[in-house]
């Protein structure tokens, strides 16, 4: 009698165990898949933000390069300067900027260079060096 009871009871216990194991495997697989997906989403978001920042910074530095190439010698400030820009690349105030540019100037012979470095509030994004020729007499005047 007792033996028969055990025979009946045993298969049922085993079924629950298999079901539980199946659940654990499914949840484990789901967790791994979710982790991989979330990691990819975060990477894609970061790359997207980086790409937008790089795009804007290139535009800002090219705008600066254009005005540098066109500026006359007398208008130029030879000291390093910092300029602030909003998210669309328009000049903005120091309190509400998204990007800022640090510009330094060097003169070597008759070549004047501006080195433009673009940053967000927490990271360096892009750097551009622009060279232009200046007449020799201006260099002599400066000396």
| Binding-site ranges for other proteins (CB under 8 A) | 1, 5, 8-9, 12, 23, 26-27, 30, 34, 37-38, 41, 44-45, 48, 51-52, 55-56, 59, 62-63, 66-67, 69-70, 88-90
Q: Cα 20–24–27 angle (5° rounding)?
A: 135
Measured between alpha carbons, how far apart are the two ends of the chain, in Å?
Answer: 115
Residue 114: exposure state from Cβ atoms within 10 A (0-12, 13-18, ≥19) = buried
Kindly state the tokens that stand for 115: 């080195």
Nearer to other proteins, 62 or 142 (CB): 62
Nearer to other proteins, 12 or 121 (CB): 12
Min dist. Cβ of residue 41 to other proteins (A):
4
Min dist. Cβ of residue 27 to other proteins (A):
8
């Amino acid at each position: 009698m007792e033996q028969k009871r055990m025979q009946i009871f045993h298969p049922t216990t085993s079924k629950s165990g298999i079901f539980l194991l199946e659940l654990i495997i499914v949840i484990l697989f789901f967790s791994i898949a979710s982790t991989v997906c979330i990691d990819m989403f975060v990477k894609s978001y970061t790359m997207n933000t980086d790409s937008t920042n790089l795009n804007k910074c290139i535009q800002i530095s090219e705008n600066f390069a254009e005005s540098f190439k066109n500026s006359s010698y007398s208008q130029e400030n030879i000291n390093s300067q910092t300029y602030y820009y909003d998210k669309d690349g328009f000049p903005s105030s120091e309190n509400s900027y998204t990007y800022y540019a640090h510009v330094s100037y060097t003169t070597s012979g008759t070549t004047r260079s501006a080195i433009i470095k673009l940053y967000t509030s927490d990271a360096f994004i892009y750097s551009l060096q622009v060279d232009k020729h200046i007449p020799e007499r201006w260099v002599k005047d400066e000396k």
